[in-house]
Structure 1
Amino acid sequence: MWIPEGGPAPSTLVAGPAPGTLAGGPTPGAPVGGAPPAVPAPRKGRLFGRRRAEAVSEAEELRAWIARTQGLDAERVAGLVRQVEAEAAALRERAVAEAGDEAREIVEDARATAKEILADAREAAKVTDRLREDADRQRADVSAAERRLAELQARIVNADETALLQEAGIYAYRHVLQDAIAYRSRLDTLRDEIKSLTRAGRAVHATTDWTVNGSKREGQKMVRDFSKLMLRAYNAEADYAVRSMRPYRLTSLVDRLYKSRETIAKLGATMHIRISDEFHNARVRELELTADYLQKKDEEKEAQREARAREREEAAVQRELDRQREKLNKELGHYQAALERLRERGDAGGAAELEAKLAEIEDSLQDVESRAANVRTGYVYVISNIGAFGDRIVKIGMTRRLEPLERVYELSGAAVPFRFDVHALIFSKDAVGLEAELHRHFASQRVNQVNSRKEFFYATPVEVRDALHRFAGQHLIEFTEEPQALEWRASRNGEAGGTARPGEALTR
């Protein structure tokens, strides 16, 4: 090998066999004994001019030296180099092939993954679209439900108000007629009209071009059968509404019938089956007339009950007047007979006393006749019932009884837990007018503001006494402010027949 100038010379050099010779044999021109040849000394100088020939000569010497010393190693190194290059090329080709296969697998996996992701994205987009459509439908349904709820709440409020007014005796008639008989007659006429609509085929509308197995006749038969079925369902709902009708339920029952009609229209949408407007309106009028009829019938019954109560009261008054008249006439006859006997005996003193007594009897008899002739004559009473109504409610009424306390005892019957206490009994020849004046004075304090027949007022006995001073005047002889309420006080104390403890309030 070449050693640069100034470098150490190799001490030994092992040479391999030269190409074309046996291993271990001497190389031609090599020194005997295996000693390496001396390395040619380098020559200094430039490579231009005359020194060029010397450089060429030096190069030749170096080539010869390399050939003598390293020929065998160079050949082996060259072979190894070629072998390494071949293996490197094979490894490179295999690496390239493996890299290509792996790259293809990666690309295929990436493509498959991309396809899956794309499919998932498309499915997610479809699901999103469906969810968006469902959300839109639900929002629309919610909006419709809110509108429907608002309508129903308004109807409920109206129905509640109507029900309260109806329970209190106030009812708004849809069809104003004279009496229950007129409503009954109108209902009969309307029901005949409903039957005529059914017979004429105007109760249900349906499609006419329906076919079954290519047969139009079979299709028409199917439509007729389904129409009859739907009409039977609708009529069943309407008949139930008529049977269960109460005047205060009219609005809810009409709304229920309307919903039944809508349901039938949805179920028969395929064949376009629906209840006609004419038939539905007729059945709604039937419900309204039924409610009006029931209300009018109740009013007539109430009027009949009041008339019977007045008749009973008048009969009781008449019986009392008849008994009093009979009693006075009998006494008058006895005293007249006794007066005749005294006059026959000449007893002037006894006759004078009997004449005075006869005058009193005749005055009483005249008073009875006057009261029988004047229906406005009677007693105005002011009563209260602490145990039943509290200490701030009084009843102001009027009776024509000769014994007004009998009327108070009747009011203290089984309908109230305790007896009424009487605060005042005022006789007046115009008791009806006095009662009306008191009712007008306490009109704003009436307990039942819609039924004037209920004669209870939020007032204390003292307030009624002050009003009586203005209206009754000299007729007000005695007034009791504090009610006894013996039964109620005894019940509170837990002692039958006991009295209230001192200082105990009169309120419950």
Structure 2
Amino acid sequence: MGLFGNRENPEVVALRQQVGSAEATIAELRGWVGQLRGVDASAREAELRALRSAVDATRREHAEVEQRTRDAQAELVAVRSEVVETRELALLQQVGVYDYAHPLEDALAYKNTLAALRKRVKEMARTDAVSCHVDWSVNGSAREGQKLGRDMAKLMLRAYNAEADNAVRAVKPHTREAVKERLSKTRETIGKLGKLMSISVSPAYHRLRLQEIDLTADYLVKADEEKEQARAERERLREEAKVMKEIERERAKLAKERAHFATVVTRLEASGDAEALVRAREQLAAVDDALSGVDHRAANVRAGYVYVISNIGAFGPDMVKIGMTRRLEPMDRVRELGDASVPFRFDTHALFFSEDAVALENALHHRLADRRVNVVNHRREFFYATPAEVRDLLVTLGDDHVLEYTETAEALEWRASSPDRRAAGAPALVGAGVDAGGDGDLSDDGE
């Protein structure tokens, strides 16, 4: 028994308790560790390794796909740089008003220029159309190497000329630039294939062939223009012949009437019937005035009628045709325009007589120039305008006498032919002045 008895220090007791608790916790943890290191832990580790392997494989495949995509995109860019758009529809949609590359006076001038250019092409083809530089030997012979180079250059030139000749034969006005671009691609391809021997088509020769394409396209357009002008001139002459025939017929009719009234006047002068004589002389004077008017119309080629007509069934409600005719009966011309070439007859909105119908027609066309339907062929005198708009223009342009004006189109044939009327079983128009039109075309007067 000690001096102070056998009672232990409380702090030591508490420390021993803490140590015991810690040892129990360690034992429990050791048990859990043992379980985790058992069979279940091994399976999870294998599963984890498989997942990591799959992720790595997917990453590698993704990288390969991305690389193939980049290669394909680069190849697509290269191919597109070699492709020339030659589809007819796409080129037609892009075409505008044709711009001559080499403006000349007429088709004959183009033919002569083309002949001279083709002579230069043949001369250059025999001399310096293609270049070749070979500084290596064949079978130990430098001469054989040079001969091989010359033969390859001739072969390349023949391939180029075949493409150029085909381009000249196939070119159309709207494909001109596409054909030239394709020939330039052919020249570039030949340069790549002949790079080892420094074979290339000379720039001067290539310019000549491109100029040949330009001139050929220009010639085609000019030839079409001259054909259209010739057709217009034939139409003008036919219309002029109709006018003169109509004038001669009217003149003969009036001359016959004048002879009749002159005879009546002579007899009345002899008989002394003063009252009847006055009436006969008035009738004779009226016939003389009519004859004078016919002679004036025959002499004045600019006098005539300007007409404004529409055809809702064929062209819609907001389109009019503005033309002129020298006919004594202008409606004859309007009826001709509504023949079998259009499904319905034209409606007349305005009919003007003018001593200078040509100038009046040109003034109307000028005021409506930005509304032309056909901006290439100005003989097609159709405009996007309403009859009321044209009437207002006519009022501002002069004080010529308006013989007829109607703002709303009757369009009897079109209205009677509407689907609703057909479904309702509407009867055909009989006795309404609607008859079958004869053969013909929708050409303008050309006067």
Indicate yes or no: 2:303 matched with 1:303. no
Indicate yes or no: 2:159 matched with 1:228. no
Query: How far apart in 2 are the matches of 1:286 and 1:359?
Result: 69
CA contact (8 A) 1:384 1:422 kept: yes
Using a 3 Å threshold, how does the CA distance of structure 1 residues 409 and 337 change in structure 2: closer, same or farther? Answer: same
CA contact (8 A) 1:242 1:290 kept: yes
Query: How far apart in 2 are the matches of 1:384 and 1:136?
Result: 60
The alignment yields a C-alpha RMSD, in angstroms, of 3.2
Using a 3 Å threshold, how does the CA distance of structure 1 residues 444 and 249 change in structure 2: closer, same or farther? Answer: closer
Match of 1:265 among 167, 188, 191: 191
- The TM-score with structure 2 as length reference comes to 0.72
Query: How far apart in 2 are the matches of 1:136 and 1:423?
Result: 66
Match for residue 392 of structure 1? 318
Using a 3 Å threshold, how does the CA distance of structure 1 residues 408 and 232 change in structure 2: closer, same or farther? Answer: same
Match for residue 461 of structure 1? 387
Query: How far apart in 2 are the matches of 1:444 and 1:313?
Result: 28
Indicate yes or no: 2:341 matched with 1:410. no
Query: How many Å apart are 1:190 and its aligned residue?
Result: 0.9
Using a 3 Å threshold, how does the CA distance of structure 1 residues 407 and 134 change in structure 2: closer, same or farther? Answer: same
Query: How far apart in 1 are the matches of 2:207 and 2:369?
Result: 43
Indicate yes or no: 2:110 matched with 1:183. yes
Query: How far apart in 1 are the matches of 2:361 and 2:155?
Result: 63
Q: 3-state DSSP class of the match of 1:447?
A: coil
1:206-245 to structure 2, matched below 5 A, reads 206-245=132-171
CA contact (8 A) 2:84 2:182 kept: no
Indicate yes or no: 2:304 matched with 1:378. yes
CA contact (8 A) 1:210 1:223 kept: no
Query: How far apart in 1 are the matches of 2:93 and 2:148?
Result: 44
Match of 1:164 among 66, 84, 95: 95
Query: How many Å apart are 1:412 and its aligned residue?
Result: 0.8
Comparing 342-351 with 418-427, which one deviates more in the overlay? 342-351
Indicate yes or no: 2:274 matched with 1:358. no
- Write out per-residue CA displacement over residues 199-237 of structure 1, whole angstroms, 9 at most, x where no aligned residue: 22x112123434332233333333333222222211111
Using a 3 Å threshold, how does the CA distance of structure 1 residues 176 and 411 change in structure 2: closer, same or farther? Answer: same
Using a 3 Å threshold, how does the CA distance of structure 1 residues 444 and 195 change in structure 2: closer, same or farther? Answer: closer
Match for residue 405 of structure 2? 479
- Write out per-residue CA displacement over residues 162-221 of structure 1, whole angstroms, 9 at most, x where no aligned residue: 9532xxxx3212212222222111111111111111222x11212343433223333333
Indicate yes or no: 2:141 matched with 1:197. no
Query: How many Å apart are 1:241 and its aligned residue?
Result: 0.8
Match of 1:174 among 98, 101, 104: 101
Query: How far apart in 2 are the matches of 1:394 and 1:133?
Result: 62
- The TM-score with structure 1 as length reference comes to 0.64
Indicate yes or no: 2:327 matched with 1:401. yes
Indicate yes or no: 2:256 matched with 1:326. no
Match for residue 286 of structure 1? 212
Q: 3-state DSSP class of the match of 2:383?
A: strand
Q: Which runs of 5+ in 1 are unaligned?
A: 1-129, 500-508
Partner amino acid, structure 2, of 1:306 = A
Query: How far apart in 1 are the matches of 2:244 and 2:254?
Result: 15
Indicate yes or no: 2:238 matched with 1:312. yes
Query: How far apart in 2 are the matches of 1:278 and 1:175?
Result: 18
Match for residue 117 of structure 1? none
Partner amino acid, structure 2, of 1:185 = N
Query: How far apart in 2 are the matches of 1:276 and 1:387?
Result: 59
Match for residue 439 of structure 2? none
Partner amino acid, structure 2, of 1:497 = A
Match for residue 338 of structure 1? 264
Match for residue 100 of structure 1? none
> Which gives a bigger RCO, structure 1 or 2 (Cα 8 Å, sep 6+)?
2
Identity among equivalent pairs (%):
51
Partner amino acid, structure 1, of 2:361 = E
- Write out per-residue CA displacement over residues 416-439 of structure 1, whole angstroms, 9 at most, x where no aligned residue: 110001122221223233333433
CA contact (8 A) 2:134 2:198 kept: no
Query: How far apart in 2 are the matches of 1:443 and 1:175?
Result: 27
CA contact (8 A) 2:307 2:352 kept: yes
1:126-137 to structure 2, matched below 5 A, reads none
Q: 3-state DSSP class of the match of 1:270?
A: helix
CA contact (8 A) 1:162 1:171 kept: no
Using a 3 Å threshold, how does the CA distance of structure 1 residues 400 and 264 change in structure 2: closer, same or farther? Answer: same
Query: How far apart in 2 are the matches of 1:477 and 1:405?
Result: 12
Query: How far apart in 1 are the matches of 2:107 and 2:93?
Result: 21
Query: How far apart in 2 are the matches of 1:467 and 1:203?
Result: 61
- Write out per-residue CA displacement over residues 21-68 of structure 1, whole angstroms, 9 at most, x where no aligned residue: xxxxxxxxxxxxxxxxxxxxxxxxxxxxxxxxxxxxxxxxxxxxxxxx
Query: How many Å apart are 1:474 and its aligned residue?
Result: 6.5
